[in-house]
């Protein structure tokens, strides 16, 4: 079930931001890609209580080799952005919807 949620978040984020999932899952420091990845990890961890190890497992399955500390850092970085930009809450509310 959690892997399905990971995939749904991926699809929602890519659709909303107009990027391909293949772009999301390559090691890139391009700001838009980094922000999208951070958002994905944040939604999985904070909104669906996935463990960092679970997120790592799902990321590994789609070809993104991330270690747990990088995922934790991404979540923390997104939380800091959220504190500075409350408008991100609207995006989170929109993307947090998962269809079953």
CATH number at residue 31: 1.10.1750.10
35-93 tens-digit pLDDT: 999 999 999 999 899 999 999 999 999 988 889 999 999 999 999 999 999 889 988 98
Q: How many domains does the chain have?
A: 1
Asked whether residue 100 is domain-assigned, the answer is no
For residue 19, pLDDT over 60 is answered with yes
Give the whole-angstrom CA distance, residue 36 versus residue 21.
Answer: 10
Pair 18, 55: CB distance under 8 Å: no
Q: What's this model's pTM, rounded to 2 decimal places?
A: 0.91
Asked whether residue 27 is domain-assigned, the answer is yes
Mean pLDDT lowest among 22-26, 30-34, 47-51, 94-98? 94-98
Asked whether residue 9 is domain-assigned, the answer is yes
Asked whether residue 26 is domain-assigned, the answer is yes
pLDDT at 62: 92
The pLDDT confidence band at residue 100, using thresholds 50, 70 and 90, is low
* Residue range of the domain that includes 6: 2-95
- Find where tokens 């939380």 sit: 79
């Amino acid at each position: 079930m959690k892997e399905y949620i990971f995939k749904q978040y991926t699809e929602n984020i890519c659709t909303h931001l107009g990027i391909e999932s293949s772009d999301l899952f390559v090691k890139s420091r391009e700001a838009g890609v980094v922000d999208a990845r951070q958002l994905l990890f944040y939604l999985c961890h904070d909104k669906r209580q996935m463990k960092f190890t679970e997120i790592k497992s799902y990321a590994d399955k789609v070809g993104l080799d991330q270690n747990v500390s990088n995922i934790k850092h991404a979540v923390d970085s997104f939380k800091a952005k959220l504190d500075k930009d409350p408008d991100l809450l609207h995006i989170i509310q929109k993307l947090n919807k998962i269809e079953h």
